[in-house]
Structure 1
Amino acid sequence: MKSKVINDGPERTIALVFDKGDEVVSTLERFAKEHGLTASRFSAIGALEGAVLGYFDWERKDYERIPVPEQVEVLSLNGDIALDGDQPKVHAHTVLGRRDGSTVGGHLLEATVRPTLEVVLVESPGYLRKKCDRETGLALIDIGS
């Protein structure tokens, strides 16, 4: 993956271009850790050779895994990076386009890039911290009171 700061204002903007074979979630989390990102949002387009999406099952308090074992276009990928404890954590949702024009979407759990993924990431000057919500078992952004 290559990166370049394209705006160094109060909200720093970084372009990330993923390479074929990069795993999206772990690469984003590693980049965030290496660059000290604590509160960011991002959007992306590109293509994947496969993915695993998730649908949150309220009763089980866990994600139902939805394998997508095929080449797909990333029609929309939006998310944030916030601290979960002291580690950056990606939370992203995506809509993927199949060859026949149909779509599948959900929480992005895993994805492998092919041929590229172009991400625009905006780092906010404030902190977003995630805290475990007892009712759902999910790490949710805590903006305080």
Structure 2
Amino acid sequence: MEILKPLNNPKAFFVKIEEGEKLPEAVATAAKELDIGLAFVHCIGGFSHARIAVYEYTTSTYHYVNVKPLENHVLEVVALNGNIVCDKGDCRPHLHVAVARKPDEIYAGHLVEATVKPFIELFIIDAQAAPSEARRILSHRFTLKADIKPMEK
């Protein structure tokens, strides 16, 4: 086990992501603008669509489903959690999400992509870690080569 100790007290930021913006790109952009090395993220809000995947480790493949809301609705983001590591402006989010299409229909897994509608309320907790140490411990984030394929029915 490796433990990364913060340099200072963690800092928290709030970012409102507007309709039409894409995730995870908007999370990476916010982290870059805030000059973050390592952070934890939590979001709520809505999507007009989402691509959500599960990882098959034996083939290093993410198998995804595309989720769309009911007519005149949004996908309700029940929870979106993850972390982000940045090094020299290269920010790599790792996000997991649970979205509700309707109260008894939930989709969950790794967030591959999503379009925001009407907004996302993003909380970023900066761990105040040294970027080089964060990158060393999370080096797999920069080297993992995974395929992304549709989920077979």
Equivalence for 1:131: 139
Let me know the Cα RMSD of the aligned residues.
2.1
Q: Cα distance 1:109–1:126, how it changes in 2: closer, same or farther (>3 A)?
A: same
Contact map agreement 1:84 1:131 (CA 8 A) in 2: no
- Paired positions, count: 128
Please, what TM-score do these two structures have when normalized by structure 1? 0.79
| Distance in 2, Cα, partners of 1:109 & 1:96 | 13
Shift, 1:65, TM fit: 1.6
| Distance in 2, Cα, partners of 1:76 & 1:83 | 23
Please, what TM-score do these two structures have when normalized by structure 2? 0.75
- The structure, 1 or 2, with the larger RCO (C-alpha pairs under 8 Å, 6+ apart) is 2
Bigger Cα displacement from structure 2, 51-60 vs 76-85: 76-85
Secondary structure of 2:31 counterpart:
helix
- Give 1:1-145 correspondences, 5 Å limit: 10-70=9-69, 71-83=74-86, 87-127=90-130, 128-129=134-135, 130-132=138-140
Deviations 1:85-122 (A, max 9, x none): 86110001011111253101000110111111111110
Which structure 1 residue ranges, 5 or more long, are not aligned? Answer: 1-8, 139-145
Which of the pair is proportionally richer in strand? 1
Which of the pair is proportionally richer in helix? 2
Runs of 4+ aligned structure 1 residues displaced above 6 Å come to: none
Equivalence for 2:149: none
| Distance in 2, Cα, partners of 1:62 & 1:96 | 22
Give the share of equivalent positions with the same residue, in percent. 23
